[in-house]
Amino acid sequence: MLSSWRRTREDQHVKERVAAVFSDCMLPFTASTALHLVTFGIGASPFTNIEAVRLFCRNACLSVLFNYLYILTFYGSNLVFAGYLENNYRHSLFCRRVPKPDMLQQKPAWYRFLMYTQYNEETASSEPGDLNSYESHLLVAFMKRYYCDWITNTYVKPFVVLFYLVYVSFALMGYLQVSEGSDLSNVVATETSTISYTRAQQRYFSSYSPVIGFYIYESIEYWNASVQEDLLEYTKGFERISWFESYINYLRLLNVSTSQPRNNFTERLRSGFLRQERFTHFSDDIIFGKRADGEYEVVASRMFLIAKTTENKREEMSILLDTLRKLSLTSRVKFIIFNPSFVYMDRYASSVGAPLKNSCIAALFLLFFSTFLAADPLVNAWLTVTVASVEFGVVGFMTLLRVELDCVSVLCLIYGVNYAVDSSAPLVSAFALGREYTRTRWVKLVLEHHGVPALQSYVCYGAALLPLAAVPSNLTRTLFRCLFLTCIISAFHCLAILPVLLTFLPPSKKKRRDRKGGANNQEEIECMEMVDSTRVVDQITTV
């Protein structure tokens, strides 16, 4: 909007300038806002099974909606206010009247620096369409005089294509190494005791799984021989810290049968086993309850299991959890297994799969929605290719930067779809709808018109992300790396790859120009054939 405002003539009426800006910018801005609301709305819907993702997408929807209303009301009002200041020769920041150039030279240097403006009385007398104040901007002049000619140079294009192939190869190398991130240390602040513990555990005890709590949450027949065999079978293959196994061995050392009546089994457990000093630490692992007849029974108990693992610890833990949970649903003994880290390991497959599914739904809806908005089918095709290339690069390079595929990175991928469309849609649409000139000429015109605003938005977006790099949190750093990669790769596509590819790939401008020229020739021939009719010739002359 600011770029469009600066391209208007300062001698125009403020209403005309604001109308030109809104007619130029509000339609694509409204479309992109609608896409953001839909994609984040899908993330905030019941399709998502993670509350954190729902909260993020819900807040993102509110932010996008507030931003749209802000641009439509407050920012537009500021443009009107700035326009009236310019019409009255007042500085847009200090609201003071700007002196004429000859009087301004008599002021101190600090005053000239603060009150300098390119708007003067010569502007009002300039020719219509004179954009000297805008074209004299450093970035605009650089883009128009140097960059447009350089990027479309015949000798530069092969190097840009070669650089893109290198980009694809590195992205593919990272894409083939994508791994799911379920490390508990990634969700806490860095340089904490949790991180220190995790590093020590991974360094010295990485061949062992986390301590698994085996909880029996109902009264079972511990004295029954078949139940005892089942419990020993369930815990077979683990390193065990088990009161039950210790009690069975205790009974065998006393030459007492492990299968005995309930009262004897429970009373010997309470009065004999747990009273000995070496077994007193098991008292916290057993909950006794008093029956209606005054006898005691074991209401609930727990054991602790540790599994030996190999280097593929994450995959083995996932398989182990699935096996034990299926067993808990089918066995006679009702038990559950738990460890605090299972919050992240157990549901990780669904927590990553759901955002990926939502991102696919959002991408499909985006393409379906853009089909109705795009004036040319080739616009939709180019947007699809650009989004796919950007997302592929982000996934590949974030893996090379040691960012795993976790909930935060998947959310960034969802956002990257919208960001890539916002970045490339103006350039592709302006090029596809262009007439009269060649492809190279239209690429230059598009870069002159949209290149500088796009470059400024990339710079501002990257500067806004830099503070995230200093936050001592792995989640925030993951957010920074993914979003910064999205910004860099989108800028690379919009300012280098697309301008080069569009110079030799469809849509073709020459055919359209020839078709239009052929139509004009046909009209001239028709007029020559109608020269005998005086009445018709008079009408044509009048028209």
pLDDT digits (tens, 9 = 90+) for 410-445: 778 878 888 898 888 888 888 887 777 888 999 999
Choose between 155 and 320: higher pLDDT: 155
Tens of pLDDT, residue by residue over 163-222, are 999 999 999 999 898 877 656 667 677 778 878 887 887 788 777 777 889 999 888 999
| Residue among 398, 417, 314 nearest 356 (CA) | 417
pTM above 0.85, yes or no: no
Mean pLDDT of 362-376: 66
Alpha-carbon span 188 to 475, nearest angstrom: 8
* 455 contacts 499 by C-beta, under 8 angstroms: no
Answer whether residue 66 shows pLDDT above 60.
yes
Choose between 45 and 47: higher pLDDT: 45
Cβ count near 389 (within 10 Å): 22
Alpha-carbon span 30 to 540, nearest angstrom: 43
Give residue 4's identity as a one-letter amino acid code: S
C-alpha atoms less than 13 angstroms from C-alpha of 152 in its C-beta half-sphere: 22
Tens of pLDDT, residue by residue over 71-104, are 999 999 999 998 888 888 887 777 888 887 778 7
Answer whether residue 524 shows pLDDT above 70.
no
Please state the φ and ψ torsions of residue 179, each to the nearest 5 degrees: -130, 150
Cβ count near 112 (within 10 Å): 13
Helix, strand, coil percentages for the chain (3-state, nearest 5): 70, 5, 25
Q: What percent of the chain has pLDDT over 90?
A: 30
